[in-house]
Amino acid sequence: MSVFARLVEQLADLLQPFFHASATAAAIVLFTALVRLATHPLARAAARGQRARTALQPRITELREKHARDPERLQRAMLELHTEAKVSPFSGLLPGLLQLPAFFLLYHLFSNATIGGGPNTLLDHDLLAAPLAGHWTDALSGGLLGGADLVYLALFAVVAVVATVNFRRTRRTAAENPVQTGVPGQGAVGKVAPFLSYLTLVTVAVVPLAAALYVVTSTTWSAVERAVLS
Close Cβ partners of 53 (under 8 Å, ≥ 6 residues apart): 82, 87, 89, 177
Distance of CA 62 to the CA centre of its chain: 35
Question: Residue 91: its pLDDT value, please?
Answer: 64
Lowest mean pLDDT among 158-162, 190-194, 196-200, 218-222: 190-194
Residue 173: pLDDT over 80: no
In this prediction the pTM is: 0.79
pLDDT tens-place string over residues 69-114:
888 888 888 888 777 777 766 666 777 788 888 999 999 999 998 8
40-55 helix and 23-38 helix, angle to the nearest 10 degrees: 50
In angstroms, the CA 1 to CA 108 distance is 8
In angstroms, the CA 22 to CA 38 distance is 25
Lowest mean pLDDT among 1-5, 88-92, 109-113, 170-174: 88-92
In angstroms, the CA 131 to CA 217 distance is 18
pLDDT tens-place string over residues 113-156:
888 788 899 899 999 889 999 999 888 876 666 678 889 999 99
Give the chain's mean pLDDT: 83
3-class secondary structure per residue, the chain:
CHHHHHHHHHHHHHHHHHHHHHHHHHHHHHHHHHHHHHCHHHHHHHHHHHHHHHHCHHHHHHHHHHCCCCHHHHHHHHHHHHHHCCCCCCHHHHHHHHHHHHHHHHHHHCCCCEECCEECHHHHCEECCEECCCCHHHHHHCCCCCHHHHHHHHHHHHHHHHHHHHHHHHHHHHHHCCCCCCCCCHHHHHHHHHHHCCHHHHHHHHCCHHHHHHHHHHHHHHHHHHHHHC
In angstroms, the CA 141 to CA 65 distance is 60
